[in-house]
Amino acid sequence: MTDAQIFQVLGIMYLAVGIGIITSRDFYNKIFEGFMDSPPAFYLGGLVALVIGYLLIAFHNIWVKDWPVIITIIGWIALIKGILLIAFPKVSINISRCFIGTKKILTIWAIVAIILGVLCCWLGFFVMSRPAI
């Protein structure tokens, strides 16, 4: 995958999640509660984060002073999150519970996701996909 394609996928994903949290807060609260109350779902979520993080850094561990470093940082964050969810589930659940029911924190995360989504979409669809001159 090219940097543009990775940014496009990440951008669409972050935008969808951020907008979803803003427009369907109760639905997302139920998802988070159900996720934390289901050990298999929590474990699988950790595995997914670990695998996605690993794949991003295995194929894109590029530390440059340019936009593509965002992909690398997201990859490392996902890998670390996956490891924490699998290795320390009780701690991860306690941290996650802070976000549920706290309207202000959930709204902040939604806004962060939307901003990251817009940035990634802009980079993927307009900046990185432009042909070099």
- List CB contacts of 74: < 8 A, sequence separation 6 or more: 10, 56
pLDDT of 52: 97
Q: What is the pLDDT of residue 8?
A: 97
Burial of 40 (0-12, 13-18, 19+ CB in 10 A): exposed
Residue 32 CB neighbours (<10 A): 17
Confidence (pLDDT) at 76: 98
Residue by residue, pLDDT tens for the chain (133 residues) are 899 999 999 999 999 999 999 999 889 888 888 888 899 999 999 999 999 999 999 999 999 999 999 999 999 999 999 999 999 999 988 888 877 767 788 889 999 999 999 999 999 999 987 765 5
User: For residue 44, what are its two tokens?
Assistant: 């699988």
Whole-number pLDDT of residue 6? 95
